[in-house]
Structure 1
Amino acid sequence: MQKVISAVFALFVVLSSLPAFAQASPPSEASRKAELAAAWQAASAAGAAGPKDVSLIDQAALKLPAGYFFVPQAEGARVLRALGNVVNDTSIVGLVVGTGPNDGWIVVIRYIKEGYIKDDDAKNWNADDLLKNLKDGAEESNKDRVARGFPEMQVIGWVQPPNYDTATHRLVWSLLAKDKDEADNAAKSINYNTYALGRDGYFSLNLLSNSERIAGDKSVAHELLGDLAYNTGKRYEDFSASTDRIAEYGLMALVGGVAAKKLGLFALAAAFVLKFAKIILIGLGVFGAGVLNFFRRKPRSNGADGAA
């Protein structure tokens, strides 16, 4: 039976601020809802349920835990577009979502092959300066969001200031954001970002959640980061100064500089998805599968694709 993933937990999505062609007029709400439902339907049919070893292109492997579901690149990119993001297809590797009844998060996995990232600037960065760069980038991204009928967003501040582990070459940081017209006491978008540096570039695993859930959800980001292992020859320590390309920017840029503005870190806050959540559920129901059944079922122990 066909697998179904609910759009209800698609609360907040971030991704690229790369330029897009402006539309003459924003798409209607009905067309956006229809595309979002269709995108999740395609994602559920193409994905794989854990426990399962998932190959991440030619660079690494992810030991996908039980209760997690991996959505491949093409289908994942479609979901992100349907949620209002300008997507750079070449960087997306896939999405991971939880299949538990209370799961409300998404992890966006990207791989950026721009060379070896020097990490010697981590000891000198200033969190306030990095935050300003992110706020500026969000304002630039809002031009595209308005053109496509999505609300403008605002970066508020850090949930977790940048922290880099020199032993594992892992970077973690988290940002708080909201729709500009959203009430101050409403649940806020949380982007809990983890990075795994490698020889040729880096993986970005961005956990998308909200301020009411992040205390529990952030363990997901750390679990997946720990479950990602570079292939032999692709590890950070495999770097060869005589043959390998060095990135044009250092570690600091992964938080608030060149890479942040190039790749983007711009949240789709709760207002849009929560507004349409009930209608999305009804729409998915016509495909002949109950959304809630996907959440309630137990993952297969053999790591199969998780047919209901």
Structure 2
Amino acid sequence: MRRLYCQIANFLTCSFFQSQGGSSFFSDRFGRSLAILSWWAFIIALVSGIVLSFNYRPWGNVYLALSKLTYQFPYGIFFRKLHYLSGQCFLLFALAHMSEHFLRRTFLHMKPIEWLRLVSAFFLSFPLVFTGFILKGDKEGIFAGEVMVNLAREIPIVGAGLAMLLLKPGEDFFLRPYLHHTVTLPLLVIFLLGGHRRRLFLEKGLGLLLLVILGVLTFFYQLPPDIPPRAEIAGITGPWFFHGIQLLLRYGSPLMVGILWPMTPISFMLALAFPLVSSFRQFWILTGILWVIHLIVLCVAWFLLPILAGVSG
């Protein structure tokens, strides 16, 4: 208990300061805390997802089956809320952790393979959450799955094959997203984190604190409502981080705004692993500008999509 108290106190009081000399918002302690929180959010989501998977069936009437799991399975609503909240925390903490790495330019002091694995794991957090969104089986989930497979088909040469790997239309619509969400993507994230995860496993204090906070939140937080698949409703949207792409798809080609647009900053981040590229400060600044533009588009989309949905409805 004393160790847990010390870890919490250190996080609250020392996160924003260097351990020696001067103050800095992006201190080593703060960055490590973000990594620990991201990792344990992933573990909580993984364990709660395993509990849910025992009663989830990715075929038939998935919407109805998930409703029964949520409201008839013992503690179903608790585990579903815990899984949702921890998944969102995993993504947000991973985003904050990568931002901290980027702003401090720690890639200059990391082995190229280490930076590549870290950025790749960060990138996979988005399809991991996205496939979970599809598995709701409601109108939004079906919409997200259809958009995902249609965007994949736009990729030259390999698009058709990639689309088949991601999702198969018909009765098995949810099966492949289910396999990717529960097996493929979690295993890839665990593999990519490598030795990083072994160090984070030893830091249980913040993980326990996060579990307690999320557990308490499940009693107050209301899940976004599931929309029946046959409901007539305007303004269907994907997960929150997809809203910028969804807005741009109204005005641009799927290949440009659905594939190249989100992959460009990720590609630039990967390129920073190589000293020949990272040595140019201008490239680092350009990468930061790309992320800021994406953030601005995302914020605009949060504002405009409800308005556009009302106009079209």
Q: Shared fold (TM-score greater than 0.5)?
A: no
TM-score after normalising by structure 2: 0.27
Bigger fraction of residues in helix: 2
Bigger fraction of residues in strand: 1
